[in-house]
Structure 1
């Protein structure tokens, strides 16, 4: 039996300053790092559900949130957008291409973006940048071997079984909703129990 638990990685912006200031103002988990920016100014990159949810969560902790979305409209569910636009300390900028994260050599102090409609360059002074443009499951090596979703996640059932008998998967690399450590741990336990059950039944036959 095999249990695949290769996880996922945050999709990066791949702009100057992002890697340099990772952990020094550039963050990828609003739940983990949001409290570190209490009362400060931050940006959220991404207008999908994860980005809008992050902006809503952060608005209750930080001083001000600027959400930047590459497209002309937000892609988040309508109910989330309604909540977002009801918050006084949130500003939404669409048609925004982030071009650089700036800093003083120690920590983030701003963000540069280009207005895709006008071509004008802009700067925002802030202390934190939360990148919320998606998760990439570490599943490329599995192409053609077992069933993957359109998001390249390993498809599993309630017992963590994949499309291949004897192969199980758990955590952020799978289709299980909510990418949280505590959930991944529980899924790992399920996968182990399922694998054990599979081995018992296989040896019995």
Structure 2
């Protein structure tokens, strides 16, 4: 939402996801767009209570709970709405909007490392230092699968450049 939010100034948008990422995105977008509809699959939000309180205090937000997003609607060139099913009643509904921000959590694709010596957090992120080195000598990592905060493409790209420079330095210095 930080990058694309301004593209929707004065428009209606949806955020899918009721965890910290989703609620933070909805709060952020509420300061830019006309209206934010937060759509949550579960019967309750999982975000920290302080974030929920802030979200509920904003006049241009709506929260829809227990909803299964089923279809993104469009006119061939842009988004026009979101279709969802109320999980309690099986009724289908449509929210008219111009944009959708999916914030359903970040699960790093690191299962292949579970039996390796590379240290992972309990969430599966690869632990790296400021040079993108892992705990295994000569192994470097970058991107959203690491412990680097702010999971955005521009940051992941920069971290990739850092990791490659660190790997190059390692190869030169180790004579590999």
TM-score, structure 2 as length reference = 0.84
Map of 1:135 onto structure 2: 106
| Matches of 2:168 and 2:96, distance apart in 1 | 54
1:65 and 2:36 are equivalent in the alignment: yes
Map of 1:4 onto structure 2: none
1:179 and 2:159 are equivalent in the alignment: no
Q: Give 1:132 deviation, angstroms.
A: 0.8
Matches within 5 A, 1:49-198: 49-145=20-116, 146-181=118-153, 183-184=155-156, 187-188=159-160, 190-192=162-164, 194-195=166-167, 198=170
Structure 1: 5+ residue runs without aligned partners? 1-29
Instruction: Please report the RMSD computed on the Cα atoms of aligned residues, expressed in angstroms.
Output: 2.3
Q: Deviations along 1:144-186, whole A, 9 cap, x unmatched? A: 2223333332122344321321112123220111123454455
- Larger relative contact order, structure 1 or 2 (CA cutoff 8 Å, min sep 6): 1
| Matches of 1:151 and 1:71, distance apart in 2 | 21
TM-score, structure 1 as length reference = 0.74
| Matches of 1:175 and 1:163, distance apart in 2 | 13
Aligned residues: 174
Q: Deviations along 1:44-97, whole A, 9 cap, x unmatched? A: 100011111111111111111100111111111112111111110000111111
